[in-house]
Amino acid sequence: MYSVILACCLAIAACTRRGAAPPADSGSEPVSHRVEQGPVQAKVTLEPRQVRTSGSVQLTIDVTAPAEASIAPVKIDESLPQDWRVTDSRHNTLSATATQRKERFTFTIEPYLPGRAEIASFEIVCDLKGQASTSDDRVVLHSIAVPVEVVSEWPPGEQSRQPAALRGVVEPPPAPWPWWAWAGIGGGALLAAAIAAFLIARARRPYLPEPVRRKAHDIALAELGRLIADGLAERGQYKIFYQRISGILRRYIEDRFGVRAPEQTTEEFLEAARTAPFMPIDRTDLALLEEFLNHCDMVKFAEHVPDPTQMNATLETVRAFVNRTQSEDAIVELAPDGSTRRVMPVEAEA
Protein backbone atom coordinates (compact mmCIF):
# COMPACT_ATOMS: atom_id res chain seq x y z
CA MET A 1 0.00 0.00 0.00
CA TYR A 2 2.77 2.43 0.99
CA SER A 3 4.77 1.49 -2.07
CA VAL A 4 1.86 2.39 -4.37
CA ILE A 5 1.39 5.79 -2.71
CA LEU A 6 5.16 6.53 -2.97
CA ALA A 7 5.18 5.64 -6.65
CA CYS A 8 2.25 7.97 -7.35
CA CYS A 9 3.98 10.87 -5.54
CA LEU A 10 7.17 10.39 -7.54
CA ALA A 11 5.23 10.34 -10.81
CA ILE A 12 3.38 13.56 -9.97
CA ALA A 13 6.64 15.28 -9.03
CA ALA A 14 8.28 14.21 -12.28
CA CYS A 15 5.39 15.52 -14.37
CA THR A 16 5.43 18.82 -12.51
CA ARG A 17 9.23 19.25 -13.08
CA ARG A 18 8.90 18.36 -16.77
CA GLY A 19 6.20 21.00 -17.44
CA ALA A 20 7.79 23.84 -15.47
CA ALA A 21 8.91 26.89 -17.51
CA PRO A 22 12.63 27.77 -17.61
CA PRO A 23 13.77 30.76 -15.62
CA ALA A 24 13.25 34.14 -17.34
CA ASP A 25 16.20 35.54 -19.27
CA SER A 26 17.02 39.12 -18.27
CA GLY A 27 18.98 39.80 -21.51
CA SER A 28 22.06 40.98 -19.65
CA GLU A 29 24.09 37.89 -20.52
CA PRO A 30 26.68 38.30 -23.28
CA VAL A 31 26.46 36.49 -26.58
CA SER A 32 29.62 35.26 -28.27
CA HIS A 33 30.92 33.05 -31.08
CA ARG A 34 34.27 31.92 -32.46
CA VAL A 35 35.68 31.92 -35.97
CA GLU A 36 39.03 30.50 -37.08
CA GLN A 37 41.08 29.81 -40.14
CA GLY A 38 44.44 28.08 -39.98
CA PRO A 39 46.51 29.42 -37.05
CA VAL A 40 44.26 32.49 -36.57
CA GLN A 41 41.33 32.43 -34.16
CA ALA A 42 38.90 35.16 -33.12
CA LYS A 43 36.27 35.35 -30.41
CA VAL A 44 33.48 37.91 -30.85
CA THR A 45 31.52 38.88 -27.73
CA LEU A 46 28.57 41.28 -27.44
CA GLU A 47 27.42 42.41 -23.98
CA PRO A 48 24.59 42.75 -23.21
CA ARG A 49 22.46 41.33 -25.98
CA GLN A 50 19.46 43.39 -24.83
CA VAL A 51 19.90 47.13 -24.34
CA ARG A 52 17.71 50.17 -23.79
CA THR A 53 17.66 53.06 -26.26
CA SER A 54 19.51 55.22 -23.72
CA GLY A 55 22.19 52.60 -23.08
CA SER A 56 25.11 51.12 -24.99
CA VAL A 57 26.58 47.73 -25.84
CA GLN A 58 30.19 46.61 -25.87
CA LEU A 59 31.58 44.55 -28.72
CA THR A 60 34.85 42.74 -27.94
CA ILE A 61 37.00 40.92 -30.52
CA ASP A 62 39.86 38.80 -29.15
CA VAL A 63 42.25 37.70 -31.93
CA THR A 64 44.88 34.98 -31.43
CA ALA A 65 47.60 34.64 -34.10
CA PRO A 66 51.24 33.54 -34.48
CA ALA A 67 53.85 35.83 -32.89
CA GLU A 68 55.21 37.13 -36.20
CA ALA A 69 51.74 37.91 -37.58
CA SER A 70 50.35 41.42 -38.02
CA ILE A 71 46.69 41.96 -37.10
CA ALA A 72 44.98 44.83 -38.95
CA PRO A 73 42.63 47.17 -37.04
CA VAL A 74 39.06 45.89 -37.14
CA LYS A 75 36.51 48.17 -38.84
CA ILE A 76 32.84 47.74 -37.95
CA ASP A 77 31.24 51.05 -39.01
CA GLU A 78 29.68 49.60 -42.16
CA SER A 79 28.36 46.57 -40.25
CA LEU A 80 26.31 48.61 -37.74
CA PRO A 81 22.54 49.19 -38.16
CA GLN A 82 21.48 52.54 -39.59
CA ASP A 83 22.10 55.51 -37.27
CA TRP A 84 24.03 53.42 -34.74
CA ARG A 85 27.38 54.92 -33.81
CA VAL A 86 30.64 53.97 -32.14
CA THR A 87 31.33 56.23 -29.16
CA ASP A 88 34.62 54.64 -28.10
CA SER A 89 37.13 52.18 -29.57
CA ARG A 90 40.25 50.68 -28.05
CA HIS A 91 43.00 48.32 -29.19
CA ASN A 92 45.49 46.67 -26.85
CA THR A 93 47.71 43.60 -26.70
CA LEU A 94 46.63 41.02 -24.13
CA SER A 95 49.68 38.78 -24.37
CA ALA A 96 52.71 38.15 -26.59
CA THR A 97 55.00 35.14 -26.41
CA ALA A 98 57.64 33.68 -28.69
CA THR A 99 55.01 31.64 -30.52
CA GLN A 100 51.71 33.44 -30.09
CA ARG A 101 50.18 36.89 -29.68
CA LYS A 102 46.72 37.88 -28.52
CA GLU A 103 45.13 41.26 -29.21
CA ARG A 104 41.78 42.75 -28.20
CA PHE A 105 39.60 45.26 -30.01
CA THR A 106 36.84 46.85 -27.92
CA PHE A 107 34.00 49.03 -29.26
CA THR A 108 31.33 50.88 -27.29
CA ILE A 109 28.21 51.25 -29.45
CA GLU A 110 25.05 53.32 -28.95
CA PRO A 111 21.78 52.05 -30.55
CA TYR A 112 19.07 54.23 -32.04
CA LEU A 113 15.46 53.02 -32.42
CA PRO A 114 13.90 50.21 -30.36
CA GLY A 115 13.35 46.82 -31.95
CA ARG A 116 15.35 43.82 -33.14
CA ALA A 117 18.59 44.57 -35.01
CA GLU A 118 21.86 42.88 -35.73
CA ILE A 119 25.47 43.78 -36.16
CA ALA A 120 26.32 42.41 -39.59
CA SER A 121 29.38 40.34 -40.40
CA PHE A 122 32.70 42.17 -40.51
CA GLU A 123 36.23 41.18 -41.48
CA ILE A 124 39.20 40.35 -39.27
CA VAL A 125 42.40 40.54 -41.34
CA CYS A 126 45.71 39.01 -40.27
CA ASP A 127 49.01 38.99 -42.22
CA LEU A 128 50.92 35.90 -41.12
CA LYS A 129 54.36 37.27 -42.07
CA GLY A 130 53.89 40.85 -40.89
CA GLN A 131 54.98 43.63 -43.26
CA ALA A 132 56.55 41.13 -45.71
CA SER A 133 53.28 39.28 -46.25
CA THR A 134 51.78 38.71 -49.68
CA SER A 135 48.21 38.00 -50.60
CA ASP A 136 48.86 34.28 -50.10
CA ASP A 137 49.93 34.90 -46.48
CA ARG A 138 46.80 36.87 -45.57
CA VAL A 139 44.02 35.32 -43.49
CA VAL A 140 40.59 36.98 -43.55
CA LEU A 141 38.04 35.86 -40.94
CA HIS A 142 34.37 36.75 -41.27
CA SER A 143 32.35 37.16 -38.11
CA ILE A 144 28.79 35.90 -37.69
CA ALA A 145 25.98 38.42 -37.54
CA VAL A 146 25.18 39.22 -33.90
CA PRO A 147 21.51 39.88 -32.97
CA VAL A 148 20.68 42.74 -30.59
CA GLU A 149 17.37 43.67 -29.04
CA VAL A 150 16.84 47.34 -28.27
CA VAL A 151 14.18 48.06 -25.64
CA SER A 152 12.33 51.39 -25.50
CA GLU A 153 12.52 53.62 -22.44
CA TRP A 154 8.74 53.98 -22.49
CA PRO A 155 6.85 51.74 -20.05
CA PRO A 156 4.97 48.81 -21.63
CA GLY A 157 1.63 49.96 -23.01
CA GLU A 158 2.78 53.55 -23.54
CA GLN A 159 5.24 52.89 -26.38
CA SER A 160 2.72 54.19 -28.91
CA ARG A 161 2.85 57.64 -27.35
CA GLN A 162 5.07 60.09 -29.14
CA PRO A 163 6.90 62.86 -27.31
CA ALA A 164 5.82 66.37 -28.05
CA ALA A 165 7.89 68.23 -30.57
CA LEU A 166 10.54 70.28 -28.86
CA ARG A 167 10.69 73.94 -29.69
CA GLY A 168 14.00 75.59 -30.25
CA VAL A 169 15.37 78.31 -28.05
CA VAL A 170 13.59 81.58 -28.79
CA GLU A 171 16.12 84.23 -29.63
CA PRO A 172 15.57 87.69 -28.15
CA PRO A 173 14.50 90.39 -30.64
CA PRO A 174 17.43 92.22 -32.21
CA ALA A 175 18.42 95.53 -30.71
CA PRO A 176 17.49 98.63 -32.77
CA TRP A 177 20.24 100.05 -34.90
CA PRO A 178 22.03 103.12 -33.51
CA TRP A 179 21.60 106.51 -35.17
CA TRP A 180 25.07 106.49 -36.66
CA ALA A 181 24.28 103.26 -38.54
CA TRP A 182 21.26 104.90 -40.19
CA ALA A 183 23.35 107.98 -40.96
CA GLY A 184 26.00 105.80 -42.60
CA ILE A 185 23.38 104.02 -44.70
CA GLY A 186 21.89 107.34 -45.79
CA GLY A 187 25.29 108.80 -46.64
CA GLY A 188 26.24 105.69 -48.59
CA ALA A 189 22.98 105.86 -50.56
CA LEU A 190 23.57 109.53 -51.43
CA LEU A 191 27.14 108.77 -52.49
CA ALA A 192 25.99 105.87 -54.66
CA ALA A 193 23.33 108.10 -56.27
CA ALA A 194 25.92 110.80 -56.99
CA ILE A 195 28.31 108.30 -58.58
CA ALA A 196 25.50 106.84 -60.68
CA ALA A 197 24.45 110.32 -61.87
CA PHE A 198 28.06 111.15 -62.76
CA LEU A 199 28.49 107.93 -64.72
CA ILE A 200 25.21 108.46 -66.59
CA ALA A 201 26.13 112.03 -67.50
CA ARG A 202 29.57 110.93 -68.60
CA ALA A 203 28.12 108.15 -70.75
CA ARG A 204 25.81 110.61 -72.50
CA ARG A 205 28.63 112.97 -73.44
CA PRO A 206 30.22 112.35 -76.83
CA TYR A 207 33.53 110.59 -76.59
CA LEU A 208 36.44 112.86 -77.40
CA PRO A 209 39.64 110.93 -77.89
CA GLU A 210 42.83 112.39 -76.56
CA PRO A 211 44.84 114.41 -79.12
CA VAL A 212 48.12 113.03 -80.38
CA ARG A 213 51.32 115.01 -79.87
CA ARG A 214 54.12 114.63 -82.42
CA LYS A 215 57.25 116.52 -83.38
CA ALA A 216 57.02 118.80 -86.41
CA HIS A 217 59.89 117.15 -88.27
CA ASP A 218 58.51 113.65 -87.64
CA ILE A 219 55.21 114.67 -89.26
CA ALA A 220 56.96 116.18 -92.28
CA LEU A 221 59.28 113.22 -92.84
CA ALA A 222 56.34 110.79 -92.55
CA GLU A 223 54.38 112.76 -95.17
CA LEU A 224 57.42 112.75 -97.47
CA GLY A 225 57.62 108.97 -97.06
CA ARG A 226 53.98 108.57 -98.09
CA LEU A 227 54.57 110.87 -101.07
CA ILE A 228 57.46 108.69 -102.24
CA ALA A 229 55.40 105.53 -101.74
CA ASP A 230 52.61 106.89 -103.97
CA GLY A 231 55.06 106.95 -106.94
CA LEU A 232 53.69 110.17 -108.50
CA ALA A 233 57.04 110.99 -110.15
CA GLU A 234 57.20 107.62 -111.89
CA ARG A 235 53.63 107.98 -113.15
CA GLY A 236 54.19 111.52 -114.46
CA GLN A 237 51.62 113.15 -112.14
CA TYR A 238 53.89 116.13 -111.52
CA LYS A 239 51.23 118.73 -110.68
CA ILE A 240 49.83 116.59 -107.85
CA PHE A 241 53.39 115.84 -106.77
CA TYR A 242 54.33 119.56 -106.49
CA GLN A 243 51.05 120.50 -104.83
CA ARG A 244 51.65 117.90 -102.13
CA ILE A 245 55.35 118.59 -101.57
CA SER A 246 54.71 122.35 -101.42
CA GLY A 247 51.98 121.76 -98.84
CA ILE A 248 54.29 119.50 -96.80
CA LEU A 249 57.00 122.18 -96.63
CA ARG A 250 54.57 125.03 -95.83
CA ARG A 251 52.93 123.02 -93.01
CA TYR A 252 56.36 122.11 -91.62
CA ILE A 253 57.43 125.79 -91.58
CA GLU A 254 54.20 126.71 -89.79
CA ASP A 255 54.62 123.85 -87.25
CA ARG A 256 58.34 124.50 -86.76
CA PHE A 257 58.56 128.33 -86.81
CA GLY A 258 54.95 129.51 -86.27
CA VAL A 259 54.74 131.31 -89.64
CA ARG A 260 51.32 130.98 -91.32
CA ALA A 261 52.94 129.74 -94.53
CA PRO A 262 49.94 127.79 -95.93
CA GLU A 263 47.81 130.98 -95.99
CA GLN A 264 50.41 133.22 -97.70
CA THR A 265 51.64 133.62 -101.20
CA THR A 266 55.24 132.83 -102.01
CA GLU A 267 56.22 136.53 -101.90
CA GLU A 268 54.41 137.09 -98.58
CA PHE A 269 56.01 134.01 -97.02
CA LEU A 270 59.53 134.91 -98.13
CA GLU A 271 59.13 138.48 -96.83
CA ALA A 272 57.88 137.15 -93.47
CA ALA A 273 60.79 134.70 -93.28
CA ARG A 274 63.33 137.47 -93.91
CA THR A 275 61.88 139.80 -91.29
CA ALA A 276 60.92 137.30 -88.56
CA PRO A 277 63.28 137.90 -85.59
CA PHE A 278 62.93 134.36 -84.20
CA MET A 279 63.23 132.36 -87.43
CA PRO A 280 66.69 130.72 -87.41
CA ILE A 281 67.05 130.22 -91.18
CA ASP A 282 70.31 131.34 -92.74
CA ARG A 283 70.57 133.06 -96.09
CA THR A 284 71.49 129.84 -97.90
CA ASP A 285 68.30 128.09 -96.73
CA LEU A 286 66.22 131.17 -97.58
CA ALA A 287 67.68 131.16 -101.10
CA LEU A 288 66.89 127.45 -101.44
CA LEU A 289 63.32 128.03 -100.19
CA GLU A 290 62.84 130.88 -102.66
CA GLU A 291 64.13 128.74 -105.55
CA PHE A 292 61.97 125.76 -104.43
CA LEU A 293 58.75 127.75 -104.05
CA ASN A 294 59.25 129.57 -107.38
CA HIS A 295 59.87 126.20 -109.05
CA CYS A 296 56.63 124.84 -107.53
CA ASP A 297 54.69 127.92 -108.73
CA MET A 298 56.01 127.43 -112.25
CA VAL A 299 54.80 123.84 -112.33
CA LYS A 300 51.42 124.64 -110.78
CA PHE A 301 50.62 127.86 -112.62
CA ALA A 302 52.97 128.23 -115.63
CA GLU A 303 52.49 124.73 -117.02
CA HIS A 304 56.18 123.92 -116.56
CA VAL A 305 56.81 120.21 -117.06
CA PRO A 306 59.64 118.91 -114.84
CA ASP A 307 61.50 115.70 -115.50
CA PRO A 308 61.84 112.88 -112.89
CA THR A 309 65.36 114.05 -112.05
CA GLN A 310 64.09 117.49 -111.04
CA MET A 311 61.24 115.98 -109.04
CA ASN A 312 63.63 113.74 -107.09
CA ALA A 313 66.00 116.67 -106.52
CA THR A 314 63.07 118.71 -105.19
CA LEU A 315 62.18 115.90 -102.82
CA GLU A 316 65.72 115.65 -101.50
CA THR A 317 65.90 119.45 -101.05
CA VAL A 318 62.81 119.44 -98.81
CA ARG A 319 64.03 116.43 -96.82
CA ALA A 320 67.45 118.03 -96.26
CA PHE A 321 65.83 121.31 -95.14
CA VAL A 322 63.64 119.46 -92.59
CA ASN A 323 66.61 117.54 -91.19
CA ARG A 324 68.74 120.71 -90.85
CA THR A 325 66.07 122.77 -89.11
CA GLN A 326 64.40 120.14 -86.92
CA SER A 327 63.87 120.86 -83.20
CA GLU A 328 62.85 118.55 -80.38
CA ASP A 329 60.78 121.35 -78.86
CA ALA A 330 58.53 121.92 -81.88
CA ILE A 331 55.51 119.85 -80.88
CA VAL A 332 52.27 119.66 -82.86
CA GLU A 333 48.99 118.55 -81.29
CA LEU A 334 46.98 116.52 -83.79
CA ALA A 335 43.42 115.30 -83.62
CA PRO A 336 43.28 111.47 -83.71
CA ASP A 337 41.85 111.59 -87.25
CA GLY A 338 44.41 114.20 -88.37
CA SER A 339 41.65 116.70 -89.30
CA THR A 340 42.84 119.54 -87.05
CA ARG A 341 46.23 120.56 -85.73
CA ARG A 342 47.50 123.01 -83.16
CA VAL A 343 51.09 124.17 -82.80
CA MET A 344 52.32 124.06 -79.23
CA PRO A 345 54.04 127.30 -78.12
CA VAL A 346 57.81 127.25 -78.60
CA GLU A 347 60.22 129.66 -77.00
CA ALA A 348 62.16 131.86 -79.39
CA GLU A 349 65.56 130.46 -80.24
CA ALA A 350 68.65 132.59 -79.86
Give the CATH number of the domain where residue 114 resides.
Answer: 2.60.40.10
* Same domain, yes or no: 338 and 222: yes
Confirm whether 114 is domain-assigned.
Answer: yes
Confirm whether 57 is domain-assigned.
Answer: yes
Q: Which of 151, 174, 201 is the last residue of a domain?
A: 151
Domain residues for the domain of 124 are 31-151
Q: CA 140 to CA 37: how far, in whole Å? A: 8
Domain total in the chain? 2
pLDDT in tens, 306-348: 877 888 888 888 898 888 888 888 888 877 665 556 665 554 4
Please say if the pLDDT value at position 23 is more than 60.
no
pLDDT in tens, 141-182: 888 988 888 888 776 655 555 555 656 677 778 888 888 888
pLDDT at 135: 66
First to last CA, the chain: 169
Confirm whether 297 is domain-assigned.
Answer: yes
334-343: which pairs have CB atoms within 8 A and are 24 or more residues apart?
334/211, 334/212, 334/213, 334/214, 334/219, 335/211, 335/212, 336/209, 336/210, 336/211, 336/212, 341/255, 342/211, 343/216, 343/254, 343/255, 343/258
* Same domain, yes or no: 338 and 249: yes
pLDDT at 24: 47
pLDDT in tens, 267-308: 777 777 777 665 666 777 777 778 888 888 787 776 777 877
Please say if the pLDDT value at position 26 is more than 70.
no
Confirm whether 15 is domain-assigned.
Answer: no
Confirm whether 349 is domain-assigned.
Answer: no
Q: CA 178 to CA 156: how far, in whole Å? A: 58
The pTM score is 0.40
Confirm whether 168 is domain-assigned.
Answer: no
pLDDT at 348: 43
pLDDT category of residue 22 using cuts at 50, 70 and 90: very low
* Same domain, yes or no: 146 and 252: no
User: Between the ranges 67-76, 184-193, 228-237, 241-250, where is the mean pLDDT highest?
Assistant: 184-193
pLDDT category of residue 82 using cuts at 50, 70 and 90: confident
Confirm whether 192 is domain-assigned.
Answer: no
